[in-house]
Amino acid sequence: MSTNSPLDQKKRLGQQGEAAAVLFFEKTGAVLLARNYRVGRYEIDLIFKTPEGLLFVEVKAQTSPRDPAEAVTNPQFQRLLSASGVFARRYSSSIESALVLYLHYPMNPKLDLCIPMDP
């Protein structure tokens, strides 16, 4: 079994992107609550607690720059909203929440989209 298959490379890039996102948000004082949190068939990559509320992070690691609007399809986005709403209601219904798209492009990680959510 090759460790350099395209699937292995994609998995490693995804893990690197998630690790970079954790460092990025922890530097702002956010506390990691969950990683790869599953709600049914849906998954939230990272969930943080901040002084402002919960932060739900979808990490997209890629090898080339891309428009953030193309990184997540509308059905994926709707599933993320649904799953993050379940988590927020389950654990802290009175806390403000936000859904974030974090794009990891090697050497240039950045926050590309932040959407406030109603609890």
- Predicted local confidence at residue 32, as pLDDT: 95
In whole angstroms, give the CA distance from residue 57 to residue 61: 12
Boundaries of every domain in the chain: 6-117
Q: Mapped to the 3 state alphabet, what secondary structure does 62-106 carry?
A: CCCCCCHHHHCCHHHHHHHHHHHHHHHHHHCCCCCEEEEEEEECC
- Predicted local confidence at residue 31, as pLDDT: 93
Cβ-proximal residues to 81 (8 Å cutoff; 6+ apart), any chain: 99, 117
Percent of the chain with pLDDT over 70: 67
pLDDT in tens, 16-33: 888 888 888 898 899 999
Domain 6-117 has CATH 2.60.120.10: no
User: Residue 56 in contact with residue 36, Cβ under 8 Å?
Assistant: no
pLDDT in tens, 70-86: 777 778 878 888 888 88
